[in-house]
Structure formats: C-alpha cells, structure tokens
Amino acid sequence: MPNSIMPKRIFLAPEPRAVRDIFDQSDVERLRALGDVYIHEGGPVTDSLFDDKVANADIIMGQFDLPEARLKRIPSLRAVFNVEGNFLPNIDYDYCFRNSIRVLSTSPVFAEPVAEAALGMAIDVARGISKSDRQFRDGSEEYGLAANVDAFSLYRQDVGLIGLGDLGKAIVPLLRPFGCRIRAYDPWLPAQYVRSLGCESVSLDEVLKRSRLVIVVAGVTSQNQGFLGQQEFALMQKGSGLVLVSRAAVVDFDALLDFADRGHFRVATDVFPEEPLPASHRARRTRNLILCAHQAGALDAAIRQIGKLAVGDAELIARGLPPVLCKLAQPETVKLLRSKPIDKS
C-alpha cells in the first residue's frame, strides 16, 4: 500500500533554533532517507544560497523570508515547516494556498508542557503552595485549616477556559479526573465542537462570572489584543483564581495586577508584557500573584519533539500523503495571528 517515493530535496535552516537542539541523530537519518538534505546554520538565507540550495527544494524547514518572488522560483515546493512555533509574516501564505504548498508549524509540541504548567499553577493558585513556602521562609506560616482560609479545591469545581485551541484541548483531560464542570469560550469554535470535548460552550461573560478558576489560553490575534481588562476582571468572582499561560498581550496587564493586589482574585502568570521584566516592575511586589518566567512551554523535552513532528510529516508529504502531526496554516486565520517570534527560544 505504501506509495512509491521519489527522492526529495530538503532545505533546513531552523534559525533562531539550532539543528542540534531540535533534531537528534535518528531524526536526521530519517530525513536523509527521504533524499538530499542541505543544512544551513549561522546566518541569513542569502539570494545566492537561495539560488543554489532552496530553489530546487521539495521541503523547507525554517522561518526565513519567503515572499512570492522567492516562492515562484521553487516550483517543486510542497511544504514549509515553521520549526520555531508560531506562524509569522515571513511567507506569502496566499501563494502557498493557491499552489497546494502546505505551511506547517511544530507548535503542537508545546501543548503538553504548557497544559502541565497551567495545572500546576492552577493548583498553586487554589491551594496556596508557593504562598505557604514563602511564609515558611519568613516565619509567618499558619497550619492546617488556618493555612487554608482562602483555599479552594479543583474537585467538582467550576472551571473556565478562555481559548480551546491546542493548549486548551490539552488542559481538558488533565482536569477530567477532578470532575470539574468546564465552561469554555472560544469565538472560533462552534458549540457542538466545544461539547464534543466535554465542555460547555458559553459567552466570555459567562466564563468570567461562573468560574471559580479561569485559565487563559487564547492566542493573540489582530482582533483580541487586551480583550481581558478591568471590565472583564470585575465580572470574576471574589476569591477566584486566574491562570495566564498564552500571551500577555491578550490582557490589560496593569488592570490584572490591580485586581490581584487588592485581593479580588489570585493570579498565576507565565507571560509578561516585556521579557525580561524590568527590575523595578511592580509585578515583582504584587500580592496574590505567582510569577513564572515564560517557562511553561520551553521545556527541553518539548524542544526535542520539534524535529520528530517535522520529520514525521515530511515523510508523509514525501509519500504523497497529508500531514497529520504539525499544525496547518489555515487560509481563513493565519493572517490574524500576532504572536511575536521567539528571541532565541
């Protein structure tokens, strides 16, 4: 049943990632089994390099510039893999869609580590783990019920998800054994789909009002920057918890700190408007706040999956089959996405 395979040409220029971080030896061997592999690191893809090594490629892995002028000169091109993790404006998506060139991202590798971190941050917000640790360090801890006056449990709790993309979908099964009632708001998904994941599809207001714990996993788009601000936070229950693991740009960060500081809710965030956070930033002194250093996704174990996802789908594409592991750029939405590229990873 396997389709016959013509040898392919693969051009690999993963900057700002390093080949050795994302591909292990077996990944590279699987690539080489598909055909000629050219690896470029340490500098931009110049025009002469392009002429020499990219123009005859079947598969490209990397996020260098691919405007229409360049794409037109790669007639054999079947797929472009972004191995950094976001769909960036580096490529002419429309040209690719018109010409059945798959544009893919290995971002699914981050779903599991971010979901795990989000659950850990959620339990911390609910049960006061890092707060207790902090109090022990300065000798102010209280014990047992006294330690738990503000605590709540996730078991059978009302939990809200803002966003039900890859990250949200990875969180749902982690909450399942707690028997949570999960309400979700995602304007890109129909109610029927949300229900098929075992969640209730509700409005943003409903998520905010009804949830004891809200987890924000919405990606940032041209349409939703700062959509969680003072007005939205005011809808949340007093004594509730908020976990932010997607992008800081979806919230009004100052309002978030205000609401935490005055004890309206307790917050854990993995992302910040500026990273590194300025030394004098008030977030460092804000009460009812747990700060994590953009470490939810950037786990070595996840980075090492990037190559495996790209190679797995490259093998399918080389055999004339549709990719199934990476995220596919969608004509309707890809140009709405507004994540910033990573710095170095």
Looking only at residues 226 through 245 of this chain, which bind a copy of itself when binding is defined by CB under 8 A? 227
Give the DSSP letter string of 301-312: HHHHHHHHHHHH
Q: Is 130 in the site for a copy of itself (CB under 8 A)?
A: yes
Considering only residues 108 through 127, tell me which ones interact with a copy of itself, judged by CB under 8 A. Answer: 112-113, 116-117, 119-121, 123-124, 126-127
Q: In the numeric block, which tokens belong to residue 120?
A: 């850990």
* Contact call for residue 38 and a copy of itself (CB under 8 A): no
Does 322 sit near a copy of itself (CB under 8 A)?
A: yes
223 is a site residue for a copy of itself (CB under 8 A) = yes
Query: Per CB under 8 A, which of residues 154..173 are in contact with a copy of itself?
Result: 154-155, 173
For a copy of itself, which is the closer residue by CB, 45 or 220?
220
Per-residue x/- track, 175-194, a copy of itself (CB under 8 A)? -xxx--------xxxxxxx-
Residue 75 token pair: 């007639």
For a copy of itself, the closer of residues 43 and 276 by Cβ is 276
* End-to-end Cα, the chain, rounded Å: 40
Strands of the chain (E only): list them: 8-13, 35-39, 59-62, 79-82, 102-105, 158-162, 181-185, 200-201, 213-216, 240-244, 265-269, 289-291, 327-328
Range 49-88, binding a copy of itself (CB under 8 A) = none
The CA distance from 78 to 146, in Å, is 62
Give yes or no for residue 345 binding a copy of itself (CB under 8 A): yes
Kindly report the backbone phi and psi dihedral angles of residue 60, in degrees, each rounded to the nearest multiple of 5, phi listed first: -115, 135
Handedness of CA 237, 238, 241, 243 (dihedral sign): positive
222 scored as a contact of a copy of itself (CB under 8 A): no
What residues have CB less than 8 Å from 159, skipping those under 6 apart? 175, 180, 181, 182, 183, 211, 212, 213, 214, 215
Q: How far apart are CA 126 and CA 222, in angstroms?
A: 32
How many angstroms separate the CA atoms of 245 and 185, rounded?
16
Positions 261 through 320 that interact with a copy of itself (CB under 8 A): 268, 275-277, 279, 283-285, 290-295, 298-303, 308-309, 312-313, 315-317, 320
Q: Does the CA dihedral 107-111-117-121 come out positive or negative?
A: positive
Nearer to a copy of itself, 53 or 183 (CB): 183
Contact assessment for residue 108 and residue 132, using Cβ atoms and an 8 Å cutoff: no
Given 152, 206, 229, 237, the residue binding a copy of itself (CB under 8 A): 152
Residue 36 contacts residue 61 (beta carbons within 8 Å): no
46 versus 153: smaller Cβ distance to a copy of itself = 153
The structure tokens listed for 131 are: 């707060």
Q: Does 151 bind a copy of itself (CB under 8 A)?
A: yes
Report the nearest approach of a copy of itself to the CB of residue 67 (Å): 19
Quote the tokens at residue 183: 């309400």
Residue among 33, 68, 333, 340 that touches a copy of itself (CB under 8 A): 333
Compare residues 49 and 261 and give the one whose CB is closer to a copy of itself.
261
List 32, 72, 73, 134, residue binding a copy of itself (CB under 8 A): 134
Q: Which of 28, 39, 55, 147 binds a copy of itself (CB under 8 A)?
A: 147
